[in-house]
Structure 1
Amino acid sequence: MTPLPERAADTSAEQPWPVRLLSAKIGEYVDKMSTCWIEGQVVQLNRRPGAGTAYLTLRDTDVDMSFSVSVRTTTLDAMPPLSPGARVVTQVKPVFWERSGSLQLDARQIRPVGVGDLLARLDQLGRTLAAEGLFDRDRKRALPFLPRRIGVVTGRAGAAENDVVENARRRWPAVVFEIRQVAVQGPTAVTEVMAALAELDRLAEVDVIVIARGGGSLEDLLPFSNEALLRAVAAATTPVVSAIGHDIDRPLLDLVADRRASTPTDAAALVVPDAQAEYAAVLAAKDRLRRTLGARLQRERERLVQLRTRPVLADPAAYVRGQREVVGALRQRAHRRLEARVHREHDAIAGLCRHGRALSPLATLDRGYALVQQVDGTIVRDPEQLDGGELLRVSVAHGDFGVRTVGGAS
Structure 2
Amino acid sequence: MTASAGSATPDRPTAENPWPVRTVARKIAEWIHRLGPVWVEGQITQISARPGTRTAFLTLRDPSADVSMSVTCGMNMLRSMDPPLQEGASVVVHAKPDFYLGRGTLSLRAKEIRSVGIGELLARIERLRKLLQAEGLFAAERKRALPFLPRGVGLITGRASAAERDVLSNAQSRWPAVRFTVINTAVQGAQAVPQILTALSKLDADPDIQVIVLARGGGSVEDLLPFSDEALCRAVASAGTPVVSAIGHEPDAPLLDYVADLRCSTPTDASKRIVPDVAQETARVRELRDRARRALRGWVDSQRRTLEQIRSRPVLADPYAPIERRREEVTARVERARRAALGILATEQSTLASARARLAALGPSATLERGYSVVQYRTATGELAVLRSVDEVAHGSDLRIRVGDGVVHATVDDVTAAAARSHGPTAEEAHDE
TM-score range normalised by the length of the shorter chain = 0.7 to 0.9
Corresponding position: 1:5 with 2:9: yes
Larger Rg: 2
Matched residue, 1:116: 119
CA distance in 2, matches of 1:67, 1:44: 11
Q: Could you say what secondary structure the match of 1:195 adopts?
A: helix
CA distance in 2, matches of 1:201, 1:215: 25
Which one of 204, 207, 212 corresponds to residue 210 of structure 2? 207
Matched residue, 1:286: 289
Q: What is the letter of the counterpart of residue 40 of structure 1?
A: G
CA distance in 2, matches of 1:42, 1:98: 25
Which one of 19, 35, 38 corresponds to residue 36 of structure 1? 38
Identical residues among aligned pairs (%)? 51
CA distance in 2, matches of 1:391, 1:199: 151
Structure 1 residues 391 and 103, CA gap change in structure 2 (3 angstroms): farther
Q: What is the letter of the counterpart of residue 29 of structure 1?
A: W
CA distance in 2, matches of 1:330, 1:255: 90
Matched residue, 1:180: 183
Q: CA RMSD in A?
A: 3.1
Corresponding position: 1:304 with 2:307: yes
CA distance in 2, matches of 1:129, 1:112: 26
User: TM-score, normalised to structure 2's length?
Assistant: 0.75
Structure 1 residues 390 and 19, CA gap change in structure 2 (3 angstroms): farther
Matched residue, 1:18: 20
CA distance in 2, matches of 1:14, 1:71: 42
Structure 1 residues 334 and 137, CA gap change in structure 2 (3 angstroms): farther
CA distance in 2, matches of 1:210, 1:69: 37
Within 5 Å, which residues of 2 pair with 1:28-107? 28-76=30-78, 77-107=80-110
Q: What is the letter of the counterpart of residue 12 of structure 1?
A: T
Matched residue, 2:409: none
Deviation at 1:17, TM superposition (A): 1.1
Structure 2: unaligned runs, 5 residues or longer? 352-420, 425-429
CA distance in 2, matches of 1:221, 1:340: 117
Q: What is the letter of the counterpart of residue 5 of structure 1?
A: T
Matched residue, 2:234: 231
CA distance in 2, matches of 1:19, 1:312: 118
Matched residue, 2:245: 242
Deviation at 1:326, TM superposition (A): 3.1
Corresponding position: 1:144 with 2:152: no
CA distance in 1, matches of 2:422, 2:163: 155
Q: Could you say what secondary structure the match of 1:105 adopts?
A: strand
Deviation at 1:248, TM superposition (A): 2.6
Q: Could you say what secondary structure the match of 1:156 adopts?
A: coil
Deviation at 1:132, TM superposition (A): 1.9
Q: Could you say what secondary structure the match of 2:120 adopts?
A: helix
CA distance in 2, matches of 1:243, 1:341: 106
CA distance in 2, matches of 1:241, 1:78: 40
CA distance in 1, matches of 2:195, 2:15: 44
| CA deviation profile, 1:231-261 (whole Å, cap 9, x unmatched) | 1111211111001033333111111111111
CA distance in 1, matches of 2:298, 2:261: 44
